[in-house]
Amino acid sequence: MFIPLHDGVPLRFMRAPYVTYGLICLCIALYLVVTLRQNAEGQIAVAAGFGLIPSVFFGAAQLPPELLQAPPWVTLFSNVLLHVSLAHLLGNMLFLWVFGDNVEDAMGHVRFLLFFVLCGLGGSMAHALINPASDQPLIGASGAISGVIASYLMLYPRVRIWGLAFNWIPLHITALYAIGAWILFQLVQALIDPQGHVGWWAHLGGLGTGAALTPLFIHRGVTLFGRVARG
């Protein structure tokens, strides 16, 4: 619906967002390793073994023993680093590239990394709880990145973002309207297609987690919606 390209917000507290860069590089590296070193069957095995399968997580089903697999609780986190296609990967990494640096700047490196992990966990749990009987693996950083998007909206609602609407119409629009429309789209899709091929509830879980944690993770004196979050 909306693809962000650039926001132009300068960093205030750090020289470079090393965690954001590291997460992007890690996701790209894992995608290349899985894609280049595994055949189609191997890629499916990785997705099944390290993606979050709700029915397996809750113990209602089991994977075949020959599949390489992580313990079910580990898949709450491991699924965040995997991506199903190049378009899936590039879309997520573009959102993280545009929004992650300023959120990391507002939190600091260590707290941002913890924030990202917790938002991914929130997205994973929301998806599993809404679809407890699903046998389809959830993979992708969308839940964690949704938390970053929520935080960015709370930090910079009035910043104007360059982006593409419907993948081709150039726009220069405030974050409040761009991200607000994106959130509304996630909510509508989650309600009309809760068990679809896209983890809409993972997105919403990440959004909620990010919104709840942002006031606790940002530097003292950083403002939210134009107000200081804590003294």
3-state helix, strand, coil in the chain (%, to 5): 60, 10, 30
Class of residue 162 by CB neighbours under 10 A (exposed 0-12, middle 13-18, buried 19+): middle
Give the pLDDT of residue 227.
60
Average pLDDT over residues 101-122: 98
Cβ 13 vs Cβ 101: under 8 Å = no
Average pLDDT over residues 215-223: 93
Q: What is the mean pLDDT of the chain?
A: 92
Domain boundaries, the chain: 2-228
Residue 165 pLDDT > 90, yes or no? no
Give the pLDDT of residue 123.
98
Give the pLDDT of residue 226.
65
Residue 14 pLDDT > 50, yes or no? yes
Give the pLDDT of residue 38.
82
Average pLDDT over residues 84-105: 96
Average pLDDT over residues 200-214: 97
Give the pLDDT of residue 66.
74
Residues 23-80 have pLDDT tens digits of 999 999 999 999 988 888 889 889 999 999 999 999 998 888 877 678 999 999 999 9
Enclosing H/E stretch for 160:
strand 160-165
> How many CB atoms are closer than 10 A to CB 10?
7
Percent of the chain with pLDDT over 70: 96
Give the pLDDT of residue 211.
98
> How many CB atoms are closer than 10 A to CB 79?
28
Radius of gyration (Cα) for the chain, nearest Å? 18
Residue 195 pLDDT > 80, yes or no? no
Average pLDDT over residues 206-214: 98
Residues 6 or more apart whose Cβ sits within 8 Å of residue 148 = 95, 96, 99, 100, 103, 115, 116, 119, 210
DSSP state string for 35-91: HHH--HHHHHHHHHHHSB-HHHHTTS----TTS----TTTHHHHGGG--SSHHHHHH
Residue 231 pLDDT > 50, yes or no? no
Give the pLDDT of residue 39.
87
User: What's the topology of domain 2-228?
Assistant: Rhomboid-like fold (1.20.1540)
pTM of the predicted model as reported, rounded to 2 decimal places: 0.94
Residue 194 pLDDT > 80, yes or no? no
Where does the pLDDT of residue 230 fall: very low under 50, low under 70, confident under 90, or very high at 90 and above? very low
